[in-house]
Structure 1
Amino acid sequence: MRSRTGDDTLRQQLEDVNSLTEELIDRTMTKFLEQVKDGSWTTGGWSQVNTDYSVSKLVVNAYTRFMAKTLSDRPEGQKIYINCKSIKI
């Protein structure tokens, strides 16, 4: 049983904060939801353990890293600090 995504390409894309985009995160979630609807999620490379939680955690962490990078360029006094415990994707 896998506890993380088996899609190496997707994992690398979501781990690379410099090229991480909202579009990639959205496509990832849309792909998962489509595979759930058509019943193909078990062969789609998704975690086989606590799948719904694992995928939602994956997407929330990716989006949090994206927002942290996006908001890091704000001037002093307007900075927003984000704390995110990273997990293995």
Structure 2
Amino acid sequence: MIQSKTSQNGAFSMIRCGVGKHVFGIDMDCIRSIEQTDWVQGEGGADGLCGYLQTAREQIPVYSLGERLGQRLTGVPDEQRVVVVESKRPFALLVDR
């Protein structure tokens, strides 16, 4: 699990996520963890739903960031990751890198 807060000098900490040729940044304070794709279970569905990530406490929906943004995932499946976003209702994003 990766946990990070804004650095001591006030700099903004971000994680870079790639989908195809595009790169996006997410504030590290919003990230709960980064997981391997083999932990995703279930079938895909509407709105880019890829499946679910089961934890001890909850079932977190996993969405394809590429599909949600109208892009295609082009990465090698072994290199893809699931970024779990902390929120009132946690969700996860499947990214190429």
Shorter-chain TM-score bucket reads under 0.3
Structure with greater helix share of residues: 1
Structure with greater strand share of residues: 2
**TM-score, structure 1 normalization:** 0.24
**TM-score, structure 2 normalization:** 0.23
